[in-house]
Structure 1
């Protein structure tokens, strides 16, 4: 039997979890502070509607997917794991590192699976890109930059950095295999006191540099991750059709008589098997529940992402922008 999974939070992203889990044969119940909303999904998907307060003690639920406003994630996750449930918590898992650590530790203390919804780690194009890097196809990675731009959504608690950047930070950390030792953030709040644009500049222990640009107030969509290596460069562009999502550029750069020269080549497009990242993510969660394996996007990774977000966060007063001084992240010997 598949594990019996409940979805807590029936908003936009929660509804995607609901429909995907139903298709996977693992949806058992839905729950929301708005009973009518939960009842509507329960009727539509032929599952139970359970009040949030009753959810954690139910013996017929093995795991809970949490798609809540992030300020509620930590408390709900702690209650879930203490009630014997495995959890998948949507990003960001909390608004403070302390809350994130509290929920991850509670899961460890209770022997529960704790997974975080960094869904792009399960994108077939990123998985293929990661394999190229691991196999040395790009040489030594020297620079990574990501752009995640578009219009909306506008949240009352999350700015552009906290809403959009976790996906890219998760991918960057997977590629580098380590945390940055320096983070510098720049942001601009145009509509209220939350950043609508955000830049992160990161420096890693081996000299690798990375830059991230996120915007929720942009006239066009951009979903692009670029990796520059000593042998080749690669671009994962999720706006492109499947046959063009992953491109490798084998440009050549060299020094001739004291001057730098280069030649350019047309990109080669790497074949990528099609697949929905959310489906693959939830299949992985189900497998971890069944085998008790550590998730690919576990709690420790989520804490590392949150540490970077915290270091790069910009505070605003009115519609102004301010640059935050570089924050050096001290290595944590426990991780």
Structure 2
């Protein structure tokens, strides 16, 4: 039998889960505090609409996808696993490390699957990039940097760092296989008390360096992860079309008579099998439910991401208009 899944939270990203799960043939119910919204999706997708308070006790729901404002994720995930449900929790899994640790511990105690929605880990271009790194095609990785920039979305609880960075941090952690030993963050709030752009600087063991830049007040859209190795450099650019999403640059740098020299070569584009990351993520979740294996993006990884976010979060004041008195 296929598992019967419910989606709690019928907002923008929850609606994507709803439609994708329907396509996979496992959508059983939807739930939202906005009853009319849930009933609208239930009618559209031919499934049940269940009140949030009634959802956890339903015997006909095997697993729940949580796509809520992040301040509710840990509490609802804990309720779900204690009620015997497997869960996929959208990012960020919580707003504090302690809350995330409690939710993950509850899942382990209950023997339930706990997966986190770091969806870009399931992007075919990233999976191919990871395979190149693992095969030594880039040599020893020395530096990783990511840019995730654009205009919006604006949240009441999430700033640019916590909203945009989890995906990139998950990918960086997957490539490095370890946590940073040093994290330094900086950011600024232009609209209200939440930062609208942020930088993270990270130092990993073996002196591998990482840098992350996020912004929700940028005039153009950028979704780029760059990995610099001793043999080659690779760029995963999700704004590019499929045939150009993953590029490898085999530049050469050497010393000649005490001076540095280099040759800049044109990129070679790596063939990437097309596929929707969200579909692949949910297929992975269904496979974990079936086999009881640990997800690739499990609760422990989510805690590592939160530790970096917490270490890189710094207090900042809103920029004041220069005409204001000091």
- The runs of 5 or more residues in structure 1 that have no matched partner are 321-335
- Cα deviation for residue 314 of structure 1 reads 2.1
Q: Deviations over 1:183-221 (max 9, x none)?
A: 000101101111101000000011100000000000000
Q: What are the residue-to-residue correspondences of 1:82-97 with 2, within 5 Å?
A: 82-97=82-97
Determine whether 1:192 maps to 2:192: yes
Aligned to 2:159: 159
Matches within 5 A, 1:31-70: 31-70=31-70
Which residue pairs with 1:323 in the alignment? none
- The answer to whether the Cα contact below 8 Å between 1:195 and 1:314 also exists between their aligned partners in 2 is no
Separation in 2 of the partners of 1:234 and 1:137?
10
Q: Where in structure 2 are the equivalents of 1:116-155 lying within 5 Å?
A: 116-155=116-155
Match of 1:328 in 2: none
SS at match of 1:280: helix
CA deviation string 1:150-191 (max 9, x = no partner): 000000000000000000000000000000000000101101
Asked if structure 1 preserves the Cα contact closer than 8 Å seen for 2:121 and 2:170, the reply is: yes
Deviation at 1:50, TM superposition (A): 0.3
2:236 alignment counterpart: 236
TM-score, normalised relative to structure 2? 0.98
SS in structure 2 opposite 1:272?
A: coil
CA distance in 1, matches of 2:56, 2:247: 46
Q: Is the 8 A contact 1:116 1:299 kept in 2?
A: yes
RMSD between aligned alpha carbons?
0.6
Partner Cα separation in structure 1 for residue 28 and residue 115 of structure 2: 19
Question: 1:316 deviation in Å?
Answer: 2.3
Matched, 1:254 2:223: no
Residues 230-278 of structure 1, C-alpha deviation per residue, up to 9 Å, x if partnerless?
A: 0000000000000000000000000111111100110000000000000
1:210 aligns with 2:219: no
Matched, 1:29 2:24: no
How far apart are residue 319 of structure 1 and its match?
Answer: 2.5
Kept in 1, the 8 Å contact 2:198–2:214? The answer is: yes
| TM-score normalised per structure 1 | 0.95
- SS of residue matched to 1:288: helix
Equivalent residue number for residue 292 of structure 1: 292
Structure 1 residue aligned with 2:323: none
Answer whether contact 1:193 1:319 (CA < 8 A) is retained.
Answer: no
